[in-house]
Structure 1
Amino acid sequence: MDTISRENNSMLPVGGIIVGVIALLLSGYAAISLAKVNRTLAAHEEKVARIDTLESQVNSSSAASEKASRDIAALTRSTQDAFNQVGGDLGNIHASLTKLEESAKAAPVKAAKGGSSGPVVAGEGEYVIKSGDSFAKIARSHGTSIADIQAVNPGVDSSKLHVGQKIKLPKK
């Protein structure tokens, strides 16, 4: 056995040196690769920090957007409620105005019918219709226009004038 071990011993130190050199080369390559990985990791940490910042900004923007959406919905509801209330009030006002217009139209007719028992007397700013009168004739005789007479007598139909009926004259 001594002979076999002596022969193998001559190659062993050369093999050890070769393995050592390969190990040294591999460790140098690993160190260089590790340095590259560390630089890449540092660059990625910066990007991750930016992403975290953006994430927090997106979250706060999302919360603000949700709040604005809720506020708009509340404003829409309150505006609709206000329109509904105003609409009801306008309907009531319209009904009241219609009643007032109807009573204003009915009043001259009742006065003319009720006044037929005696002569009708015109007050200041009034005119009593005589036979053959028209708005055009009345306008010429009083120095005014037909439109002005119609404006102060909105409920009077100029084609249905009757004797004794009172109309208002526009102020000069």
Structure 2
Amino acid sequence: MATVKFKGELEVSLNGTELNLGDIAPVVSAVAADLSDIQIGGQKGKAQIILSVPSLDTGVCAAEARKFNEAASKLDNAEVIVVSMDLPFAMKRFCTTEGIENLKVASDFRAKAFAKSYGVLQANGPLAGLTARAVFIVNPSGKITYKEIVPEITNEPNYDAVLAAASEATSTSCCGSCH
């Protein structure tokens, strides 16, 4: 079972299936801001940058969403999806207030299917039941080509590494089967 830290001291266990590079990204359903179903993972014919955050109502998560919203506007053949346990209404309000237009939001509040299938469900600590901070990049063929479980929940991911991996996953020079 993977672990991360919360505020440097508390060790938080993560529940669910631990995924590795080269694994096929599980297909799961979550709830979009408009209350429709949104599919995450699997083969979509385009890259997926999947951001797992505890809550868009925190400064760190909001900053991460703004940064990736800006980056998403420069990516071709990709979709960026932010997944949390926030209710769809709160996610929609956040996107409207922050001018977020280049990424999708997905709430995992109903079944926690994403958190369990991707191994990012916090099992203990003050944020138990929420998703840990993580990034998964899935190539057009559905394979995980990048994974970062951020070791300290209150820190942002390694943007440079994520964006480099996203650029590689969205490259039209590769069919995606070589990764």
Q: TM-score range by the shorter chain?
A: under 0.3
Structure with larger Rg: 1
Q: TM-score, normalised by structure 1?
A: 0.19
Which structure carries more strand by proportion? Answer: 2
Instruction: Considering Cα pairs closer than 8 Å and 6+ residues apart, tell me whether 1 or 2 has the greater RCO.
Output: 2
